[in-house]
Amino acid sequence: MSQRSGSDPRAQLPLFDPTQLPVEPARRPHLPSRAEEREPSPAVTPTAQAKPAATGPGETVHAGALQGLPPHRGGVLKWIGNKHRVAASIVATLPKDFSLYLEPFVGSGAVLAELAPRVAIASDVLAPLVAIHTQVQRDATGLVEAYRERVVASEASGSREGKEAHFRAVRARYNATPNADDLLFLARTCYGGVIRFSARGDMNTPCGVHKPIRAETLAARIAAWQPRVAGVRFEVADFEATLDRAGPGALVYCDPPYSDSEGTLYGAQAFSLQRLLAAIERAKARGARVALSIDGTKRSGRKIIDLALPERLFESESLVDVGRSMLRRFQMEGQTLEDERVADRLLLTWPT
């Protein structure tokens, strides 16, 4: 499966100007009916120019983010490397006065949903993953029903062997024709949400041992998720194309594939850290602020991933503990790795 666009995206995509978008109110939590699903939904819910909003003496909120949303629990997608557990800490580190939010490695969108930006572009190189996000916005009933059908068929297959055979059949269908419905089921039922591809581009993760969440739980999570992503335009794009749209006032959060361990995950074959750092440098020079999550320490902090970072590109950093590594557990064939802890470095192009 080819997951990169071949042309130079910078030749086609101008800096994104949120003030040029028509204004409409944020949508409410809502699973659309079949009739509604057929209508095209607006891609972006924009905002007026963002300003820090005072909430009390000396206190500010994210002016670039939607306010007063009910809390959400649990992600729509199970995705290796997701930031669900630490999304609140990451968001707390981000500035509050941005006019446009960009997330070029959106994955399952943990930070995106936690932040709930008013105007955003979120992209990923994996097209069926992006299709899941757009269906959550536009066609959630269809997505939930497709998930329900697969879970029911899996349960009806009875034995462990039957479930594995059903999983392999869905995986084969996905590999023949990559699509959102099958990917959502595979991500929710495969081993640890590890979306791993063979050199040929086939998803090859085995069936997990856990019981997948029920369709009703998925529907509830989507309902809580929808208002949080109402202002987001989801796009299939290489990270460089998205980063190159960040102008003054933009905030970018990058969560790329781990440089030392995720070479065969998602569409990570197309990823290059040097290319990312160069794009961040250009975005910073244009006046955007960029936060980058990257491998920090592994094995109880004993191993420090050594990266050659351009001098003065990042002006501050913090360590975020992300817990035990699901990927290492997968690589070690299910052993419990008691001392396997991972901490991400959060590098910031601005001083704190």
Ligand X SMILES: C[S@@+](CC[C@H](N)C(=O)[O-])C[C@H]1O[C@@H](n2cnc3c(N)ncnc32)[C@H](O)[C@@H]1O
Where on the chain is the footprint of ligand X (CB under 6 A)?
A: 79, 81-83, 104-105, 107-108, 110-111, 124-126, 238-239, 255-257, 266-268, 270-271
Quote the least distance from Cβ 104 to ligand X, whole Å.
Answer: 6
Query: Which is nearer to ligand X, 64 or 193 (by Cβ)?
Result: 193
CB 306 within 8 A of CB 273: no
DSSP secondary structure letter of residue 10: G
Query: What are residue 70's phi and psi, to 5 degrees?
Result: -65, 155
Q: Which amino acid is at 154?
A: S
Q: How far is the CB of 315 from ligand X (least distance, A)?
A: 22
CB of residue 201 vs ligand X: minimum separation in angstroms?
13
3-state secondary structure of 327: helix
Residue type, position 81, single letter: G
Nearer to ligand X, 47 or 251 (CB): 251
Contact 183, 174 (CB under 8 A): yes
CB of 184 to ligand X, least distance (A): 14
Read off the DSSP letter of residue 190: B
Tell me whether residue 244 or residue 255 sits nearer to ligand X (CB atom): 255
Shortest spacing between CB 200 and ligand X, in angstroms: 17
**Is the Cβ of residue 110 or residue 151 nearer to ligand X in the bound state?**
110
> Phi and psi (nearest 5°) for 236?
-85, 115
58 residue type, one letter? G
Task: Report in angstroms how near the CB of residue 5 gets to ligand X at its nearest.
Answer: 10
Q: How many CB atoms lie within 10 A of CB 211?
A: 11
Going by DSSP bridges, is the β-strand pair 100-103/120-124 parallel, antiparallel, or unpaired?
A: parallel
Closest-approach residue to ligand X (CB): 107
CB-nearer residue toward ligand X: 79 or 167: 79
Rounded Cα gap, residues 104 and 38, in angstroms: 28
Kindly tell me which of 169 and 270 has the beta carbon lying closer to ligand X.
270
Rounded Cα distance between 160 and 140, Å, is: 30
